[in-house]
């Protein structure tokens, strides 16, 4: 079946540094990818929707200059958390949609900012 | 816009007892409905989904859900739970337009004890 690979699964960084998270669709072309964040014991909140070759659409309250999303190809989307701070520590999950609208999730990235 | 309400934040049950996790949704258009399970520090696993057709949907691990359009509900049920069913359960909704994201409820923690 379709697989979405998310990397890294866990990252620890110092405050002020930037972190890049990759989301790859391994055996299908993802027309649309979504990025979510999840705080401990809370729900998944949609951050942005990205379509290949175009700018991402951010949800209200999500800083687009802080959370840079690049969807350069039909199999890869990246989320870069710029100048990370401890309050950015969270679980980030990507998902990708196939051409026939099936949705698959990555395994998530636990970001810890010290 | 769509929204999801999971009526119970925590549901404690004993092993082999039946369980129902409640989910109500709001939408002005036709929707697709989903239930996901998340084990600690892991990604999401799809339990079942309703797209169209029969309102009773059977999923993995013995779970089932019934779509009730008049009550705008999509409650998840299992006749007999196991210790291993202890996890976080999320109800999610999206409209039937291509390229739209899932909107998640706040989650229900199912705790199964012996």
Identify which of B63, B83, B89, B2 has the alpha carbon closest to the alpha carbon of residue A41: B89
What six digits make up the tokens of B30?
């036709």
CB atoms B43 and A105 under 8 Å? yes
Cβ contacts (< 8 Å) between A107 and chain B: which residues? Answer: 42-43
State percent of chain B over pLDDT 70.
100
The values of phi and psi at residue B107, to 5°, are 95, 150
What is residue A33's predicted lDDT score, i.e. its pLDDT? 93
Distance CA B104, CA B2 (A): 10
Is the pLDDT at B113 greater than 70, yes or no?
yes
- Structure confidence at residue B98 as a pLDDT band (50, 70, 90): confident
Distance CA B86, CA A30 (A): 32
CB atoms B99 and A31 under 8 Å? yes
What six digits make up the tokens of A109?
């990235």
- Strand ranges (E), chain A: 4-7, 10-13, 19-25, 32-38, 44-51, 57-58, 67-73, 76-81, 90-97, 103-105, 109-113
Distance CA B29, CA B6 (A): 20
What is residue A101's predicted lDDT score, i.e. its pLDDT? 76
Yes or no: say if A107 and B43 are a contact pair by the CB < 8 Å rule.
yes
What is residue A2's predicted lDDT score, i.e. its pLDDT? 64
DSSP class of residue A59 equals P
Q: Which residue has the higher pLDDT, A54 or B92?
A: B92
What is residue A97's predicted lDDT score, i.e. its pLDDT? 87
What is residue A30's predicted lDDT score, i.e. its pLDDT? 87
Cβ contacts (< 8 Å) between B30 and chain A: which residues? Answer: none
Give chain A's residues under pLDDT 70: 1-2
Nearest residue, CB atoms, A108 vs list B43, B88, B105:
B43
Per-residue pLDDT tens over the stretch A60-83: 999 999 999 998 888 999 999 999
CB atoms B43 and A49 under 8 Å? no
Is the pLDDT at B45 greater than 80, yes or no?
yes
Is the pLDDT at B74 greater than 90, yes or no?
yes
Q: Kindly state the average pLDDT of the residues B40-55.
A: 89
Find the closest chain B residue to A105 by CA distance: B44
CB atoms A105 and B99 under 8 Å? no
Identify which of B6, B25, B103, B34 has the alpha carbon closest to the alpha carbon of residue B69: B25
What is residue A1's predicted lDDT score, i.e. its pLDDT? 61
DSSP class of residue A55 equals P
Spell out which chain B residues touch chain A, with contact meaning CB-CB distance below 8 angstroms: 41-44, 88, 90, 98-99, 101-107, 109
What is residue A40's predicted lDDT score, i.e. its pLDDT? 83
CB atoms A43 and B106 under 8 Å? yes
CB atoms B101 and A105 under 8 Å? no
- Structure confidence at residue B105 as a pLDDT band (50, 70, 90): very high
B29: exposed, middle or buried (Cβ count in 10 Å: 0-12, 13-18, 19+): exposed
Average pLDDT along chain B? 93
List the strands of the sheet with A67-73, edge to edge. A4-7, A19-25, A76-81, A67-73
């Amino acid at each position: 079946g379709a697989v979405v690979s998310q990397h890294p699964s866990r990252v620890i960084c110092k405050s002020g540094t930037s972190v890049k998270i990759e989301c790859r669709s391994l055996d299908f072309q993802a027309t649309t990818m979504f990025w979510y964040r999840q705080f401990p014991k809370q729900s998944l909140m949609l951050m942005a929707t990205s379509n290949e070759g175009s700018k991402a659409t951010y949800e209200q309250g999500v800083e687009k200059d802080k959370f840079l999303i690049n969807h350069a190809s039909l199999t890869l989307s990246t989320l870069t958390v710029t100048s990370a701070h401890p309050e950015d520590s969270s679980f980030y999950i990507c998902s990708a949609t196939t051409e026939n609208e099936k949705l698959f999730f990555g395994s998530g990235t636990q970001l810890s900012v010290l | 816009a769509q929204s999801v309400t999971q009526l119970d934040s925590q549901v404690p049950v004993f092993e082999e007892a039946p369980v129902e996790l409640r989910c109500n949704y709001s939408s002005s258009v036709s929707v697709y409905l989903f239930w996901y399970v998340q084990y600690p520090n892991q990604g999401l696993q799809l339990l079942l989904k309703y797209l169209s057709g029969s309102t009773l949907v059977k999923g993995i691990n013995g779970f089932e859900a019934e779509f009730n359009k008049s009550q705008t509900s999509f409650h998840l049920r299992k006749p007999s739970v196991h210790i291993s069913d202890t996890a976080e359960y999320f109800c999610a909704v999206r409209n039937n337009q291509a390229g739209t994201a899932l909107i998640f409820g706040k989650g229900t923690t199912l705790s199964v004890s012996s």
